[in-house]
Structure 1
Amino acid sequence: MHDGTAGGHGAADGSQMAAESRAQVFAGIRRDYRAGISKRELQRRYHVSFETVQAALDSAWPRQRRPMPPRGSRLDEFKSLVDEWLRADLKAPRKQRHTAMRIFDRLRDEHDADVSYFIVKKYVAERREEIRVEAGLGPSRTFIPQTHVPGAEAEVDFGDVTVELAGRLVVCSLFSLRMSFSGKAVHQVFASAGQEAFLEGHVHAFRVLGGLPIGKVRYDNLKAAIASVLGFSRARKETERWTLFRSHYGLDAFYCQPGLEGAHEKGGVEGQVGWFRRNHFVPVPKVASLAELNEMVDAWDQGDDARRIGGRARTVGEMFAIEQPLLAPLPEEEFETGRWSHQRVDRYAQINMRTNRYSVPVRFAGRKVSILLRASDLIVYDGRTQIARHERLPGKMEARLELDHYLEALIRKPGAMPGATALEQARAAGRFTPVHDAWWEAARKAHGDAEGTRALIDVLLLHRHMAHEYVVAGLAAALTVGALTADGVALEARKAADAHRTGEPGPGPSRGCLRRQVNNVTSLTEHRLRTQQLPDDTRPLPDMSKYDDLLPSRRRGREDQAGG
């Protein structure tokens, strides 16, 4: 029996060779033979043939196994044809060359070849590069090591990330700016990859870095920056706002070649986006808002300063400490990344922005307002007064409505309250709590649907002047004692706020509210005295006996006694 070591050894050696490396077996045979063990005993000990023992004694280096002859496949008779097609692709336009799937389809349709797609795919992947080399064109991709000057260059890119936002899976855009020398990267998540997000991501990154790259910043041909690509050169027609932004910060932009041909020109940031997504967005983050998510992203960026890239001796943070002092200083004023527009509020007290609808207070219905659209939020102004602020919606054809904006109209139309879209959104966001619902139900039973709803609206108006948790605490306490008026809720909410501010013992304003023991009647004088913290009144009580004579009952009783 041969195992293929010297002239083909027995197959009985195969299991042993699979368990241990051939070099270790050879070393053991040579060691034991020097210790005086016979060759026959070595055969039995190592479960090998005599030829293997002799080969080990002749040389410490096992001979190379002869490769197995390649297995034939049904593709063999068509390989010359596939090679011909691949050679013709060298002269064809880049976007009109054969893919593995196209070759597979042609073999089946034009030559009735019964072949597997995976065999075709593997062969095409190997032969395409070989044919390029045979034609003297060299490999399709080559990599040249680069040396980066500290503080000089950076790369920018966007990537898609999936987030569970307020209980719903949405696809957002991850902005990344990476310093080429240190590998320090700053990220931020936006609802979209529009121009506002592109500019705001830069501002955030520069603020975190504490400066600007003094050299070139590499970009794709993003629509946020590039209006059109001029010919086959690197000349670009930039968008107006991007030109103003670059002028404000003094950025020197370098635009990569379009498509896959330019991907390697900023490979650092493309790899960084993928690494960040795999390491921090797996599993999918669950957040209530993008602001909450970006706080997590900032923490992740700080934590990543402790990692080492590749075989570097220093961490990202240590490398960035070298280049941070070399960055250019930031301008004194930040660039306003938002875009202004003007619009008339419709009869639903809403404005339409980028296919989505946002609410404003109903008193502004029909009036023209100013809108500042930013990457993360939308701010509405009446003149110079801010009247509404919303986080931008990540999708399309959606609505974000604030219940507070409709309260004045709901007082006149209380019947519209139960089915209001703004109410459902407030419930989903957690601002309209089960305590609100319980108090509302009790108020409607006590006062009727209309008056009970109006009482609830009066309670909701308290949110404009008091913290949410205090109003909820007031609702819970009022519900416990059956105080189903807005005044009772307001009083209990102020008591909860006072207890929290002065540190008095008792349950917190947002915890254990339903277990609070509250008196049925609360003295307003006592409440004011405690709030104003006046000293105790030590004066004696006044003598009221002289005034008793003025009472009719007392005066009539004395007259009767005198007449008797």
Structure 2
Amino acid sequence: MPAKRKKPPPRASVLDPVKSFTDAMPRADLEAPRMQRHTIERIPGRPAGEHDFELAAYSMVRNYVHRSRPQLELEAKEGRRLLEGTVPQEKRPGEEAELDFADVWLDLTGQRRKCVLFTLRMSYSGKAVHRVYATASQEAFFEGHVEAFEALGGVPTVHERLAAIDTAEDVRHVHGRPTSIGFDFEQERELLGALPADGYDCGIDLTPVVHRNGRITVRQCSYSVPGKFIGATVRVKLRANELWIHDGRRGVASHPRLTRRYTFHDILDHYLEILLATPGAFAGASAPAQARAEGGFTRTHEAFWAAAKRKAGDIEARKAMENAGINADEPAVAGNDDEWDGPGEEEVSGERAKVISLHNRRLPPDPRTALPDMSTYDRLLTPVKDPRTTKQKGTCA
């Protein structure tokens, strides 16, 4: 058998003098903030600019960085793999609690809505308090803590279903303990700090201006305000699930908190003062439609709507008569071409009633003295015969 050939030593690369310098940049990027990391276009220019290295072309350095960077990241992860894992913890009663937000879907008023579940759990006993909020905002974060601490102190909760879940967990055992969550919490309850005498205000105070459409804008959502506050500045208390509007110290409105941008929530009663002056706007208003959808359109609103329709009809008729130059207190005369071109009085169910046409108006006279001469344009429609061929030239219509 022939002797085994010796493996030749690896060929030297022209990049050997700067490989350590070039590899140091991707390694440093692993710990650097994202916006301070080197781009693959920036690294190849540094050896030439900082070390006068001109033995390799820019493309050669760039290709080397493109191949070596994933390998350097893999080596760094391999070095940290031994440090990954969990460290067992032993918590003392009454000292620490853990909290988290999680997505939860609820069916509210026939619509499925995405909300967040706030959970605060005592680290020692495992006793938990759950609350549902519209959004994982700062207000929900504060309010969840306040309600959780009050519930742990013995104050009953307002969410009955979640309270039942919390109570049912008292019989559960954590990590194979011989005693239950409820039993361990009784020991932990006595070691908790005392609750403050005054409640903590979890909302945010804002001072928006009421727009001409009777709405305020809060976090890119719109909420209605009574019409008399148009143009004024009101005080808003934005909470986790609701929004309260105050005029000084007096509350004037409240709304459920909206989470989708550019949405609105209107209350019909806020626009009644405006609709008294302009009842014709009632038909296309968004507030009545929203009130019907939420079940807030009462018999009183129906009566107001019927009266508004009657009043709106009288107003439109009076406007039409005034625009036509007719005295609103006198009946319209049929056949009078100077003032009115509509029908006069007709018999309706045995009673005399004014029937007014709002569309049969006379057009103003034509200000032009004579029509323009179009004979020159007619020549363009007549095809001209070419003497050299049998075909016709020109355009015909």
Normalization by structure 1: what TM-score? Answer: 0.40
Q: Show the counterpart of 1:426.
A: 291
5+ residue gaps, structure 2: 1-25, 34-62, 64-73, 314-397
Residue 180 of structure 1 pairs with residue 117 of structure 2? no
Q: Rate the CA distance shift 1:358–1:138 in 2: closer, same or farther, 3 A.
A: closer
Please list the CA deviations of residues 134-180 of structure 1 after superposition, one character each: whole Å capped at 9, or x if unmatched.
x6x65353223221111111112222223333333332222221110
The counterpart of 1:323, out of the listed 181, 188, 199, is 188
SS at match of 2:121: strand
Residues 125-524 of structure 1 aligned to structure 2 (within 5 Å): 132=78, 139-210=82-153, 294-432=159-297, 444=306, 449-450=309-310
Distance 1:183 1:208 in 2: 14
CA distance in 2, matches of 1:322, 1:431: 49
Aligned to 1:93: 30
Structure 1 residues 408 and 151, CA, compared in 2 at 3 Å: closer, same or farther?
Answer: same
Q: Percent identity over the alignment?
A: 41
Mapped contact 1:179–1:185 kept (Cα < 8 A): yes
Bigger share in helix? 1
CA displacement, residues 514-535 of structure 1 (integer Å, 9 cap, x when unaligned): xxxxxxxxxxxxxxxxxxxxxx
The separation in 2 between residues aligned to 1:142 and 1:90, in whole angstroms, is 23
* Uncovered stretches (5+) of structure 1, i.e. residues with no partner: 1-88, 97-109, 111-127, 212-290, 454-564
Partner Cα distance (1:403, 1:302) in 2:
41
- Looking at structure 2, the residues matched to 408 and 387 of structure 1 have their Cα atoms a distance apart, in angstroms, of 15
The 1:95–1:426 alpha-carbon spacing in structure 2 relative to 1, beyond 3 Å, is farther
How many angstroms does 1:351 deviate by? 0.7
Over 3 Å counting, the alpha-carbon distance change for 1:403 and 1:323 in structure 2 is: same
Task: Check the 8 A contact 1:340/1:373 in 2, yes or no.
Answer: yes
2: CA distance, partners of 1:450 / 1:406: 18
In structure 2, how many angstroms separate the alpha carbons of the residues matched to 1:450 and 1:306? Answer: 66
- Aligned CA distance change for structure 1 residues 428 and 303 (closer, same or farther; 3 Å): farther
What is the alpha-carbon distance in structure 2 between the residues aligned to residue 406 and residue 318 of structure 1? 56
Contact 2:207–2:235 under 8 Å retained in 1? yes
Aligned partner letter, 1:336: D
In 1, Cα distance between equivalents of 2:241 and 2:169: 24
Deviations 1:442-501 (A, max 9, x none): x94xx7932599xxxxxxxxxxxxxxxxxxxxxxxxxxxxxxxxxxxxxxxxxxxxxxxx
- Mark the CA change 1:367 to 1:448 in structure 2 (over 3 Å): closer, same or farther: closer
> How far apart are the structure 1 equivalents of 2:165 and 2:213?
42
Query: Residues of 2 paired with 1:309 and 1:427: CA distance?
Result: 49
Q: Supply the RMSD in Å over aligned alpha carbons.
A: 3.6
Query: Residue 362 of structure 1 contacts residue 409 of structure 1 at CA under 8 Å; is this kept in 2?
Result: yes
Local SS of the residue matching 1:343: coil
Q: Post-superposition shift, 1:436? A: 7.5
AA matched with 2:205? W
What SS does the corresponding residue of 2:84 show, helix, strand or coil? coil
Distance 2:230 2:308 in 1: 30
- The answer to whether the 8 A contact 1:172-1:394 is kept is no
- SS at the partner of 1:344? coil
Q: How many residues are treated as equivalent by the alignment? A: 250
Partners of 1:312 and 1:432 in 2: CA distance: 56
Q: CA deviation at 1:387?
A: 0.5
> 1:139 aligns to what SS in structure 2?
helix
- Cα shift readout 1:290-328 (whole Å, capped 9, x = no counterpart): x99x44323322232232234222222222111011101
8 Å CA contact retained: 2:280, 2:312: no
Question: 1:353, CA displacement in angstroms?
Answer: 0.4
C-alpha distance in structure 1 between counterparts of 2:211 and 2:312, whole Å: 29
State how 1:92-111 maps to structure 2 within 5 Å: 93=30
Q: Assess, with a 3 A threshold, how the Cα gap between structure 1 residues 151 and 448 changes in structure 2: closer, same or farther.
A: closer
Between the aligned partners of 1:403 and 1:138, the Cα distance in structure 2 is 62
Shift in CA distance, 415/148, structure 1 to aligned 2, threshold 3 Å: same
Contact 1:309–1:315 (CA<8 Å) still a contact in 2?
yes
User: CA–CA distance in 2 between the matches of 1:95 and 1:170?
Assistant: 40
Match of 2:52 in 1: none
- Matches of 1:172 and 1:352, distance apart in 2: 22
TM-score of the superposed pair, with normalisation by structure 2:
0.55
Query: 1:90 offset after TM fit, Å?
Result: 9.5
Higher relative contact order (CA closer than 8 Å, sequence separation 6+) = 1
Q: Contact 1:415/1:450 (CA < 8 Å) preserved in 2?
A: no
Whichever residue aligns with residue 93 of structure 1, its letter is L
Q: CA deviation at 1:92?
A: 7.6
Take 1:384 and 1:362, find their aligned partners in 2: how far apart are those partners? 18
Counterpart contact for 1:170–1:394, Cα < 8 Å: no
Mapped to 2, the partners of 1:393 and 1:314 lie a distance apart of: 44
Q: What secondary structure sits across from 1:305 in the alignment?
A: helix
The change in CA–CA distance for 1:310 and 1:405 in structure 2 (over 3 A counts) is same
Q: Which amino acid in structure 1 is aligned with residue 112 of structure 2?
A: L
